[in-house]
């Protein structure tokens, strides 16, 4: 079921039909998006409540690998499409994400603008909205950054790939801090995205090995979990080099977990979340924020950890409910790019997908 392409290290790696989906990739993406929602939900609840709960431990455990794995998987299928002409490539990899960024940053501002205006005035709200097209707003920085990664990778195809990889690894290690999200996150995350692109054959080989040797894979996962938890508890997970190694180790672990779940056909809900990960990413902020406010103000539940867990569940399920409601109400523009916003021939199936 594995797919591949033409990255520098992928010769001899078999291709699969472009329309096929890879089961473990959807599981891995599902795990990633749930961890992202969980992080925002837990930290938001704890900030509002002024104290922490048991979910804080899970968020801390996942921090070293939560975004590295998401970016690595985002680069996995790039070898399949990087040879496309620039018009098609920009349509699929830049205009696609830019459209949804504009739509959803506007929606988020629609909900948050009154609170901003109460603090600074409507003029400043307008300026903040315009600024969001330079400085990514809130939770949407991921889909703002992805097109930049896609373009940089295509522009640098003639540069020796390993040279790019070492530069990217160095940028992650030096911890660039300018205060600008695009610059700082590019330096911190590009090495994982590029690794997904460059080492795709080895990633698929890892998955196949885990599928063939589940007992060995489980033993490796146990070891990884102990090491990750130990380094996080000691504060060493933030050290230079260590953070890079934990990022890759955690990405390999999530890939292995996704493979084992796919092999056993367990927790199909995670696979469904992975298939619709961008839908969840775009829409989870609204049910998350609403549920957080409701539970904290009602006082029905006192335990912060339980509130955080319920808010996480509401963020995931609520975003999917918004998606289904939008389709039923013919508000397809929220999750499907309309014809006028395509600059290349339209795909047969125009739903929101990140891997095509």
Model pLDDT, residue 277: 94
As a whole number, mean pLDDT of residues 200-208 equals 97
- Report the percentage of the chain scoring pLDDT > 90: 83
pLDDT of residue 127: 87
31: containing domain: 24-341
Angle between helices 304-328 and 285-298 (to 10 degrees): 140
Give the DSSP letter of residue 127.
Answer: H
User: Does the residue 315 lie in any domain?
Assistant: yes
Please tell me which residue, 119 or 39, carries the higher pLDDT value: 39
226 or 9, greater pLDDT? 226
94 lies in some domain: yes
pLDDT score recorded for residue 223: 98
On whether residue 352 sits in a domain, the answer given is no
| Residue 257 or residue 137, greater confidence | 257
Asked if 143 and 181 count as a contact pair (C-beta separation under 8 A), the reply is no
**Is residue 9 one of the residues assigned to a domain?**
no
**Interval 164-193: pLDDT, tens:** 999 999 999 999 999 999 999 999 999 999
pLDDT at 144: 96
Give the model confidence (pLDDT) of 113-165 as tens digits.
888 887 877 778 888 899 999 999 888 999 999 999 999 999 999 999 999 99
The pTM score is 0.90
In a domain, 356, yes or no: no
Report the chain's mean pLDDT, rounded to a whole number.
91
* 1: pLDDT strictly greater than 50: no
Is residue 13 included in any domain, yes or no? no
Residue 4: per-residue pLDDT = 36
Mean pLDDT over 298-307 rounds to 95
Q: Is residue 185 part of a domain?
A: yes
Which long-range CB contacts under 8 A does 184-192 form with residues at least 24 apart?
A: 185/141, 185/145, 186/145, 186/148, 186/149, 189/67, 189/68, 189/71, 189/145, 189/149, 190/71, 190/149, 190/152, 191/165, 191/244, 192/67, 192/68, 192/69, 192/71, 192/72, 192/75, 192/247, 192/248, 192/251
Give the number of domains in the chain: 1
Within-domain flag for 10: no
């Amino acid at each position: 079921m594995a797919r591949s392409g033409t990255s520098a290290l992928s010769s001899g790696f078999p291709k699969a039909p472009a329309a096929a989906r890879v089961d473990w990739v959807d599981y891995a993406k599902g795990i990633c998006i749930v961890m992202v929602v969980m992080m925002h939900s837990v930290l938001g609840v704890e900030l509002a409540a002024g104290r922490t709960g048991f979910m804080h431990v899970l968020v801390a455990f996942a921090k070293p690998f939560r975004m590295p794995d998401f970016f690595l998987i985002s680069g996995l299928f790039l070898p399949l499409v990087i040879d496309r002409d620039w018009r098609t490539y920009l349509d699929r990899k830049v205009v696609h994400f830019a459209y949804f960024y504009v739509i959803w940053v506007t929606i988020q501002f629609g909900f948050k603008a009154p609170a901003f205006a109460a603090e600074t005035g409507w003029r400043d709200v307008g300026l903040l909205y315009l600024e969001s097209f330079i400085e990514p707003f809130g939770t949407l920085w991921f889909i703002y950054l992805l097109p930049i990664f896609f373009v940089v990778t295509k522009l640098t195809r003639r540069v020796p790939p390993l040279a790019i990889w070492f530069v990217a690894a160095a940028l992650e290690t030096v911890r660039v801090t300018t205060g600008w999200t695009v610059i700082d996150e590019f330096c911190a995350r590009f090495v994982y995205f590029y690794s997904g692109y460059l080492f795709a054959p080895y990633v698929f080989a890892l998955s196949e090995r885990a599928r063939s040797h589940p007992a060995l894979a489980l033993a490796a996962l146990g070891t990884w979990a102990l090491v990750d938890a130990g380094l996080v508890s000691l504060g060493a997970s933030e050290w230079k080099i260590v953070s890079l190694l934990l990022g890759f180790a955690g990405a390999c672990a999530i890939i292995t977990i996704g493979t084992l779940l796919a092999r056993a056909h367990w927790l199909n809900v995670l696979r469904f979340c992975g298939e619709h990960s961008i839908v969840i990413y775009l829409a989870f902020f609204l049910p998350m924020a609403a549920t957080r406010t409701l539970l904290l103000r009602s006082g029905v539940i006192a335990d912060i950890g339980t509130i955080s867990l319920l808010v996480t569940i509401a963020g995931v399920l609520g975003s999917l409910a918004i998606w289904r409601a939008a389709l039923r109400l013919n508000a397809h523009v929220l999750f499907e790019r309309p014809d006028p916003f395509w600059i290349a021939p339209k795909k047969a199936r125009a739903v929101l997908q990140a891997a095509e």
